[in-house]
Amino acid sequence: MDRLDQLHSKVRIYLLVLVIIQTGIAVGVFYLLTSQTKLSAALCLLISLGLSTLVALVTVGLLTNLLLQPLKAIWQTIVHLSPEEHGVSTPTFNDLKLGRDLVTSLATQIYQLVNVSSQAEAEMKLVAGDLSHNFVAQNLPLPLIMLDETETIRFANQAAAQYIGITANDMIGKNAYMVLDMSFPSEKTFDVWLKEAKAKSATAVSSWERVRLNLRDDHPVRLFDLAAYYNRNNTEHNETMLVLFDHTKEYSQDDQAVSFMALSVHELRTPLTLLRGYIEVFEDELGKDIKDPELQGFMLKMHAMAEQLTAFVNNILNVARVDNDQLELKLESEDWSTTLKSSIEMLSLRAKVRDITLKCSIAQDLPAVAVDRLSIREVINNLIDNAIKYSGSSKVIEIKTYINREGLVETTIQDFGLGISTSILPNLFSKFYRDHRNRAQIGGTGLGLYLSKAIVTAHGGNLWVRSHEGEGSTFGFTLIPYDKMANNLKSKDSEITRGAHGWIKNHSLYRR
Partner 1 sequence: MEPTSSATDASTPPAPGRTVLCIEDEHFISELYGRALTKNGYVVTAIADGEVALKEAQTNKYDIILLDLMIPNLSGIEILRVLRDPARVPPLKAKIIITTNLEQREDVRADIEKRADGYLVKAELTPYQLVDFLNTVK
Task: Give the C-alpha separation, 415 to 418, whole Å.
Answer: 9
Closest CB to partner 1 among residues 133, 269? 269
Q: Where are the beta strands (DSSP E) in 335-451?
A: 357-362, 369-371, 396-403, 409-415
Q: Of 152, 234, 348, 394, which lies in the binding site for partner 1, with binding defined by CB under 8 A?
A: 348
The one segment of 141-149, 200-208, 274-282, 467-475 that binds partner 1 by CB under 8 A: 274-282
The one segment of 115-123, 129-137, 164-172, 345-353 that binds partner 1 by CB under 8 A: 345-353
3-state SS record for 278-347: HHHHHHHHHCCCCCCHHHHHHHHHHHHHHHHHHHHHHHHHHHHHHHCCCCEEEEEEECHHHHHHHHHHHH
**498 binding partner 1? (CB under 8 A):** no
Q: How many residues bind partner 1 (CB under 8 A)?
A: 25
**231 binding partner 1? (CB under 8 A):** no
CA dist 275 to 118, 139, 306, 307, 479, Å? 85, 60, 7, 10, 34
Q: Of 131, 272, 316, 420, which lies in the binding site for partner 1, with binding defined by CB under 8 A?
A: 272
CA neighbor of 18 nearest in space, from 61, 65, 60: 60
Smallest separation (angstroms) from partner 1 to the CB of 269: 4
**217 binding partner 1? (CB under 8 A):** no
- Evaluate whether 156 touches 144 at the Cβ level (below 8 Å): yes
CA neighbor of 143 nearest in space, from 162, 130, 127, 128: 162
CA dist 409 to 77, 222, 460, 482, 500, Å? 82, 38, 12, 10, 20
Q: Of 50, 141, 165, 277, which lies in the binding site for partner 1, with binding defined by CB under 8 A?
A: 277
Handedness of CA 290, 272, 379, 471 (dihedral sign): positive
Smallest separation (angstroms) from partner 1 to the CB of 314: 9
**303 binding partner 1? (CB under 8 A):** yes
Task: Give the C-alpha separation, 460 to 369, whole Å.
Answer: 11
Task: Give the C-alpha separation, 422 to 419, whole Å.
Answer: 9
Closest CB to partner 1 among residues 95, 285? 285
**267 binding partner 1? (CB under 8 A):** no
**269 binding partner 1? (CB under 8 A):** yes
**270 binding partner 1? (CB under 8 A):** yes
**Which residues on neighbouring strands pair with residue 369, listed in sequence order?**
334, 481
**502 binding partner 1? (CB under 8 A):** no
Closest CB to partner 1 among residues 103, 397? 397
**284 binding partner 1? (CB under 8 A):** yes
Q: Of 31, 111, 260, 510, which lies in the binding site for partner 1, with binding defined by CB under 8 A?
A: 510
**148 binding partner 1? (CB under 8 A):** no
Q: What are phi and psi of 55, to 5 degrees?
A: -60, -45
**276 binding partner 1? (CB under 8 A):** yes
Q: Of 61, 287, 407, 502, which lies in the binding site for partner 1, with binding defined by CB under 8 A?
A: 287
The site string for partner 1 over 371-400 (x = CB under 8 A, - otherwise) reads: ---x--------------------------
The one segment of 43-51, 52-60, 166-174, 268-276 that binds partner 1 by CB under 8 A: 268-276
- Evaluate whether 120 touches 113 at the Cβ level (below 8 Å): no
Amino acid (one-letter) located at 238: N
**349 binding partner 1? (CB under 8 A):** yes
Strands 206-213 and 182-183: what pairing? antiparallel
Smallest separation (angstroms) from partner 1 to the CB of 490: 24
Q: Of 325, 328, 398, 435, which lies in the binding site for partner 1, with binding defined by CB under 8 A?
A: 328
- Evaluate whether 486 touches 370 at the Cβ level (below 8 Å): yes
Closest CB to partner 1 among residues 38, 512? 512
- Count each helix (H run) and each strand (E run) in the chain, helices first: 15, 15
Closest CB to partner 1 among residues 319, 409? 319
Conformational region of residue 173, where left means phi above 0, alpha means psi within -120 to 50, and beta covers everything else: left
Q: Of 31, 111, 260, 278, which lies in the binding site for partner 1, with binding defined by CB under 8 A?
A: 278
The one segment of 25-33, 212-220, 346-354, 385-393 that binds partner 1 by CB under 8 A: 346-354
- Evaluate whether 93 touches 73 at the Cβ level (below 8 Å): yes
The one segment of 145-153, 184-192, 343-351, 397-405 that binds partner 1 by CB under 8 A: 343-351
**Which residues on neighbouring strands pair with residue 130, listed in sequence order?**
none
Smallest separation (angstroms) from partner 1 to the CB of 359: 18
Residues in contact with partner 1 by CB under 8 A are 269-270, 272-274, 276-278, 280-281, 283-285, 287, 303, 328, 342, 345-346, 348-349, 374, 509-510, 512
